[in-house]
A = this chain, B = another copy of it.
Amino acid sequence: MDEMRGKSRLMRGAPPAPEHQVTLANWRVEPFNRWSYSHVSEIVPSAQIPNNPDLITPLAAAPADFGRIDIRTADGRSSTVAEMLATTYTDGFLVLHKGRIAAESYAGALTRFRPHIVFSVSKSITGTLAGTLVERGELDPDAPIVTYLPEVAKSAYGDASVRHVLDMTVAIDFAEEYLNPESDFMRYRRATNWNPPLPGETPGDLRSFLAGLKRGAGDHGRQFHYVSVNSDLLGWILERAAQQTFADLLGERIWSPMGAEMPAQITVDRLGAPRTAGGISAGLRDLARFGELMRQDGAAQGRQLVPAAWIDDILTRGDKAAWARGDMDHFNPGGSYRSKWYILDDARQQFCAVGIHGQWIFIDRQSETVIVKVSSQPLPVDEAMDRLILAGLKAIAAALG
């Protein structure tokens, strides 16, 4: 894995040379993202998601070599796991097999002792946390959103339910345009503290932005339509329903009791609103622990942290028709999406969380495998890389059973 370790000069020197400075203006741009994705809290203010050092779960090691496993993608490319890792800007890679570390490596600016941003894997973590509120009676997934957030009554969410937000089937007039600087999406990014304000711009905030989103055509619930703002709204719903900050809630209910070895972090806007759609950074081992929690039906260290019924619902109740009608069918033909997780293979109980720039938590229950990959791919979305990586993760799982 040594070939992965970049000899970058980013942020080296005090001060770094101007061409090696990573700032709020360039942190999601290649090559600056290779540094920033392991240092997000230095760029964007971030809340701490507490762990509990007394409860850290030990992870035993059972090393295995996956590098030579062949990968064959649907479009006919042939590769190996080692090549896949080396060519997809991998910063961290960890395979848990039967709960033991079979492979673990760090590259770029990442170490074991540093959190890496997971972008939309944050959505899946938030969707899982939602289950803890459902079980406690704090949240009804079938209730109208306005039950919790009357302030969004006039927005796209005014006649939608929590379930529509969980499953990305809100009919909303919003496009996920990662690279268009004039778009609503950039206004959203500025509202979340992720981009610098425009000259003379009055700073916005995430919650006000969400309350102003416009209704799209058609019925809610019919079509999978991936928009990050839905997942930020879910975070807001959880905060209101549990009367606690998202960071504290996730820390108390999952991060601490599951045995995380580090606090995680989440970026916040200027009023403290957490970017639950994409702002979580976490240690590689803790992401693996979280994946293992999902594999183990929501139990860790002998305690049921997330209701098994909630995870079972994720695995079995995804709407394949809504997925097929949606805009990401090519990524996972015949699959579905439920409570912020992608269901890949019903028979193997194989599912995953995915974030832009190459973030993955992949779970395959048949082979008792959890794989985490964090990366700093140059483009937010790179379909060829996605296909290669997913084929690689599936090949590892297949090799393990």
Contacts and interface: CB of A to CB of B under 8 A. Distances in A.
Interface of A: 11, 14-16, 21-24, 39, 41-48, 50-53, 56, 111, 113-115, 205, 207, 236, 239-240, 245, 251, 256, 261-263, 265, 268, 270-273
Nearest to A246: B14
Interface centre among A16, A115, A271 (most CB of B within 10 A): A271
Contact of A21 (B22, B50, B271): B271
Given A14-B240, A113-B251, 6 more contacts: A11-B272, A15-B273, A22-B272, A44-B45, A50-B111, A53-B113
Contact of A113 (B42, B52, B56, B239): B52
A147 B208 CA distance: 52
A396 B23 CA distance: 47
Nearest to A111: B50
10 contacts: A14-B273, A15-B207, A15-B271, A15-B273, A41-B47, A50-B111, A51-B113, A53-B261, A113-B251, A113-B256
A165 to B, nearest CB: 15
**Chain A interface helix/strand/loop/mixed:** loop
A111 B247 CA distance: 14
A217 to B, nearest CB: 30
Nearest to A251: B113
A46 B41 contact: yes
B48 A114 contact: yes
A236 B48 contact: no
Given A23-B271, A42-B272, A48 B115 contact: yes
Contacts of A207: 14-15
Contact of A24 (B15, B50, B205, B270): B270
A166 B46 CA distance: 32
Interface centre among A22, A263, A268 (most CB of B within 10 A): A263
A245 B109 CA distance: 13
Q: How many copies does the complex hold?
A: 2
Contacts of A240: 14
Nearest to A260: B53
A16 B272 contact: yes
A23 B271 CA distance: 7
B42 A46 contact: yes
Contact of A42 (B39, B47, B111, B239): B47
A245 B42 CA distance: 12
Contacts of A52: 113
Contacts of A273: 14-15
A46 B236 CA distance: 24
A358 to B, nearest CB: 22
B47 A45 contact: no
A12 to B, nearest CB: 8
Contacts of A263: 113, 262-263
Nearest to A44: B45
Nearest to A43: B45
A268 B42 contact: yes
- 3 pairs of A and B residues whose beta carbons are closest in the complex: A50-B113, A53-B261, A14-B239
B262 A53 contact: yes
Contacts of A47: 39, 41-42
A284 to B, nearest CB: 12
A205 to B, nearest CB: 7
A207 B16 CA distance: 11
Contacts of A272: 11, 15-16, 21-22, 42
A28 to B, nearest CB: 15
Contacts of A262: 53, 263
Nearest to A207: B15
Given A21-B271, A271-B23, A50 B114 contact: yes
